[in-house]
Amino acid sequence: TKELEHALERNEVDLVVHSLKDLPTVLPPGFTIGAVCKRECPYDAVVFHPKFVGKTLETLPEKSVVGTSS
């Protein structure tokens, strides 16, 4: 989780996918939860880089880089 947040800060990835239970109570400055996916288990979240605020998974630029953890 922390490694992915650092990659997001360094612009190495455009968004990361986390289990909501793994996110800190307070997100780093500029980070936002961009989506909570519709699933059987609603504890997954997508965190977007600040430059993608207002975007959705469907509207991200082509070839965006995604980091994931579980």
Give me the residue spans of the domains in the chain: 2-55
Q: How far is Cα 62 from Cα 41, in angstroms, rounded to an integer?
A: 28
- Chain segment 8-66, per-residue pLDDT in tens: 889 999 888 877 777 888 888 888 888 887 766 667 778 888 888 888 888 988 998 88
Structure pTM? 0.49
Burial 35-50 (b: 16+ CB within 10 A, else e): beeeeeeeebbbbbbe
2-55 CATH? 3.40.190.10
CA distances from 53 to 5, 39, 40, 41, 70 (A): 16, 22, 26, 24, 23
